[in-house]
């Protein structure tokens, strides 16, 4: 039924003043499209506090105010004005406005395989003064759809409604995992031209998981119950279900659980209590069966629908042994001498075939046979040979382990694994050295740089050291043990540098070992050393000292040594031939940029102590210069005095009376001396003839004097007659002369 609608049109004069209003009425049944202010809700109730600010605001900046017709009298009216003209004071470009909720629309929990029990409605409102035009879609969703309201126009003040429904939830859905979609509205409302509303639905039902999926019992002797295989059957869904196992397809297998064989209700997350599979073989060979998992209740996607079981019944099993072959520890780069057997024994009354392989290939172990037959009630042996261990290899335990797999054609096709064990042994050396650069090292001293050799291998390693070039002063020594024990043992030491010359020289330091190694030696360390030190300078002229036999010690001779460097110079002096002594200290230190000296003299020579002449010696002094050299400065010792000796007549023999024999005395010295003839004092003799007519004579250096001896009495006799000397006599202080005579026949008379 339609009622008369009143339309009031008002206008606002410039400045916002109400200029005037007029109304229009439409009698019942009229098609004029009028609006009954008492029943039509197409315009919102008048609210003087509401202002719309939009592009049609008046020039004075105030928005138009519109009073809506009171529609409270007939809110339930089915009248809908879709094409009502806009109020005359509405700006021609006023935009539509509205509210569009985006709260997700949730259909809630829905059983897998079922559809939701009710539809869902999405509502939005036109809050403006012009109609809203819209379309709605759920995209390509196979689950959600729109049953009504997928497009249309909503009048001002009205609400739009879209009715949604969901199709049957697939039984393959995951329980508890929401299925989502999107309701998308396309409108002409600025700012809400595209509105996305989430749609959601949660599948509900049970979901069965089973671990293990297959109960494997292995080889079991006939009629012997195998150890039970525990089963974990869980309801992973979000709704309770009742669960039981169906009968196994082979009666050699059975299932048990608390409450078996009846159904047990499992809440979400619950596990079938004490579930286990059992096997008692009645027949030889591989046996297998399945048992269905039976459920009551809604079931979503369920990974487990049945249990598989298998086992092998044996009567006379085939055995392979031993279970482990151990080749022990083998040096890196070497090969074990062991070849170990694996025996396959066949207890059946028929031959069985076998095949054997190494899991890691033939790089570590080889087999003498890889396939063949084992005779009935017999055995076959496979020999396993390990390959050489590489020179560089891991020493980790089991680094060379492998597995020998032996398969046979016996009932059930049993397979046996034999563990092959072998480890490598050797030293693994590391060299740590903070620096290889020696600072300045003073001549005569040694610089040291510490190093450490570490052995992380599993074999003790005696270490050898090499520092080159040795000619430049480089070396190396241990400060403790020279053996680096296995497992992280160390051998500490020092690289050394004893400079042989000033300046910087290069070198290197490396280590070696006689032990077996499982890794290369560390690289050599580069060394460098700088030598500094004192330098002795001096005059190499001969030092001259002289003494006179019977006189005092010699003059003092001095050697001056200059050190023009910044390092102290030490010198230790000595006499090469022992001809002189030091009047200064024989060991001196010459400070940096300074001088020092040695003073020497020859000791006094007693009369007859040493032949006169010139003697050579040398002042030797050893310094702390590079190479600790020993310097030599010539020292000349002059001994002054006479050297007297008979050159003839020291031994005279007479055989006739009144005969003479000559003698000669020579002075080979370098000074004159006086020689005095002896007075025989013999009553049978006439006195010896004087030297040159005198009893004494001064004999110059290098001169000689001669005289004669005559026998004047006695027929037989003899004696020793000594010539004496005076002056600086070095040799020949006394000159003994031996005279003998034997005159036969001895005449009588004055002579004899």
Which tokens sit at 302?
């369920």
- 3-class SS shares of the chain: helix, strand, coil, % to 5: 0, 50, 50
Between 274 and 689, residue with greater pLDDT: 274
pLDDT tens per residue across span 189-208: 999 999 999 999 999 999 99
Query: Which tens digits make up the pLDDT trace of 5-24?
Result: 333 333 333 333 333 333 33
Judged against a pLDDT cut of 70, whether residue 701 lies above it is answered with yes
Q: How far apart are CA 146 and CA 160, in angstroms?
A: 14
Give dist(CA 248, CA 279) in Å, integer.
Answer: 11
Of the listed ranges 308-322, 397-411, 569-583, the one predicted with least confidence? 308-322
Provide the β-strand partners of residue 264: 243
Share of the chain above pLDDT 70, in %: 84
Q: Is the pTM here over 0.85, yes or no?
A: no
Q: Given the DSSP bridges, would you call strands 208-211 and 232-235 parallel, antiparallel or unpaired?
A: antiparallel
- pLDDT by residue (tens digit) across 514-567? 999 999 999 999 999 999 999 999 998 999 999 999 999 999 999 999 999 999
Reference 43, options 162, 130, 118, 149; nearest CA is 130
85-89, 334-338, 542-546, 718-722: segment of lowest average pLDDT: 85-89
* pLDDT value of position 297: 93
Quote the tokens at residue 120. Answer: 């869902």
Residue 349's pLDDT is what?
77
Question: Has residue 31 got a pLDDT over 50?
Answer: no
- pLDDT of res. 707: 83
> What are 613-631's pLDDT values in tens digits?
999 999 999 999 888 899 9
Distance, in Å, from the CA atom of 286 to the CA atom of 413, rounded to the nearest integer, reads 8
- Please tell me the distance from the alpha carbon of residue 254 to that of residue 245, in angstroms, as a whole number: 10
Q: What is the pLDDT of residues 88-111, one digit of tens each?
A: 444 667 899 999 999 999 999 999
**pLDDT tens readout for residues 218-231:** 877 777 788 899 99
User: Which pLDDT score is estimated for 317?
Assistant: 77
562: number of CA atoms within 13 Å, CB side?
5
pLDDT band at 214 (very low <50, low <70, confident <90, very high): very high
Q: Cis bond leading into 261, ω under 30°?
A: yes
pLDDT of residue 680: 63
CB atoms within 10 A of CB 146: 17
Least confident segment among 102-106, 127-131, 645-649: 645-649
C-alpha dihedral sign at 91, 92, 93, 96: positive
Question: What is the CA 434 to chain-centroid distance, rounded?
Answer: 16
More confident residue, 165 or 718: 165
pLDDT greater than 80 at residue 688? no
| Burial grade of 63 (CB within 10 A; 0-12, 13-18, 19 or more) | middle
Pick from 479, 526, 525, 472: nearest CA to 501 = 472
């Amino acid at each position: 039924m339609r009622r008369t609608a009143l339309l009031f049109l008002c206008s606002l004069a410039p400045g916002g003043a109400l200029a005037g209003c007029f109304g229009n009425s439409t009698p019942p049944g009229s098609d004029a499209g009028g609006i009954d202010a008492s029943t039509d809700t197409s315009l919102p109730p008048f609210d003087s506090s509401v202002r719309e600010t939009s592009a049609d605001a008046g020039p004075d900046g105030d928005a138009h105010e519109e009073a809506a017709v009171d529609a409270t009298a007939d809110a339930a009216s089915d009248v809908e004005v879709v094409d009502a003209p806009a109020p005359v004071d509405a700006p021609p470009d006023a935009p539509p406005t509205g509210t569009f909720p985006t709260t997700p629309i949730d259909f809630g929990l829905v059983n897998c395989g079922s559809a939701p029990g009710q539809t869902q409605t999405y509502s939005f409102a036109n809050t403006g003064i012009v109609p809203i035009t819209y379309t709605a879609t759920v995209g390509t969703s196979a689950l959600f759809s729109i049953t009504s309201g997928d497009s249309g126009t909503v009048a001002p003040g009205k609400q739009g409604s879209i009715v949604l429904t969901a199709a049957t939830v697939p039984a393959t859905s995951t329980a508890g995992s929401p299925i989502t979609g999107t309701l998308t509205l396309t409108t002409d409302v600025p700012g809400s031209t595209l509105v996305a509303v989430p749609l959601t639905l949660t599948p509900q039902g049970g979901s069965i998981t089973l671990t293990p999926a297959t109960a494997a019992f292995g080889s079991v002797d006939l009629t012997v119950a195998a150890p039970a295989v525990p089963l974990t059957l869980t309801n992973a869904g979000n709704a309770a279900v009742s669960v039981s196992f169906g009968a196994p397809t082979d009666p050699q297998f059975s299932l048990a659980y608390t409450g078996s064989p009846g159904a047990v209700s499992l809440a979400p997350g619950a596990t079938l209590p004490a579930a286990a599979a059992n096997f008692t073989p009645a027949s030889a060979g591989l046996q297998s069966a399945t048992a269905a998992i039976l459920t009551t209740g809604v079931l979503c996607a369920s990974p487990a629908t049945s249990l598989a079981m298998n086992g092998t019944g044996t009567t006379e099993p085939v055995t392979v042994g031993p279970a482990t072959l151990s080749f022990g520890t083998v040096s890196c780069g070497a090969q074990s001498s062991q070849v170990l057997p694996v025996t396959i024994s066949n207890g059946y009354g028929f031959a069985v075939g076998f095949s054997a392989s190494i899991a890691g290939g033939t790089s570590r172990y080889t087999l003498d046979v890889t396939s063949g037959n084992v005779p009935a009630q017999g055995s076959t042996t496979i020999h396993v040979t390990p390959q050489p261990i590489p020179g560089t290899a891991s020493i980790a335990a089991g680094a060379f382990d492998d597995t020998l797999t032996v398969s046979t054609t016996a009932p059930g096709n049993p397979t046996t694994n034999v563990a092959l064990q072998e480890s490598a042994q050797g030293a693994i050396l590391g060299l740590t050295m903070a620096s290889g650069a020696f600072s300045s090292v003073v001549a005569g001293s040694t610089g040291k740089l510490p190093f450490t050799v570490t052995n992380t291998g599993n074999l003790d390693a005696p270490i050898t050291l090499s520092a080159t070039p040795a000619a430049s002063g480089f070396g190396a020594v241990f400060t403790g043990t020279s053996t680096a024990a296995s497992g992280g043992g160390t051998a500490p030491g020092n690289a050394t540098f004893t400079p042989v010359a000033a300046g910087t020289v290069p070198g290197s330091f490396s280590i070696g070992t006689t032990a077996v190694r499982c890794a290369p030696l560390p690289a050599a360390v580069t060394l460098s050393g700088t030598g500094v030190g004192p330098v002795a300078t001096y005059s190499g002229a001969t030092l001259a000292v002289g003494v006179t036999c019977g006189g005092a010690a010699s003059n003092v001779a001095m050697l001056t040594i200059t050190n023009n460097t910044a390092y102290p110079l030490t010198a230790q002096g000595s006499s090469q031939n022992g001809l002189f002594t030091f009047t200064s200290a024989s060991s001196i230190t010459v400070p940096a940029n300074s001088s020092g000296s040695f003073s020497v003299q020859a000791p006094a020579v007693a009369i007859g102590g040493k032949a006169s002449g010139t003697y050579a010696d040398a002042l030797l002094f050893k310094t702390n210069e590079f190479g600790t050299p020993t310097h030599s400065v010539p020292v000349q010792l002059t001994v002054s005095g006479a050297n007297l000796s008979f050159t003839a007549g020291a031994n005279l023999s007479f055989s006739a009376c009144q005969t003479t024999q000559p003698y000669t005395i020579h002075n080979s010295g370098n000074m004159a001396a006086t020689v005095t003839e002896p007075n025989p004092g013999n009553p049978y003799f006439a006195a010896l003839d004087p030297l040159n007519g005198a009893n004494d004579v001064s004999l110059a250096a290098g001169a000689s004097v001669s005289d004669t001896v005559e026998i004047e009495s006695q027929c037989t006799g003899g004696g020793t007659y000594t010539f004496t000397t005076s002056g600086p006599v070095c040799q020949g202080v006394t000159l003994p002369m031996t005279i003998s005579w034997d005159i036969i026949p001895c005449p009588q008379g004055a002579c004899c």
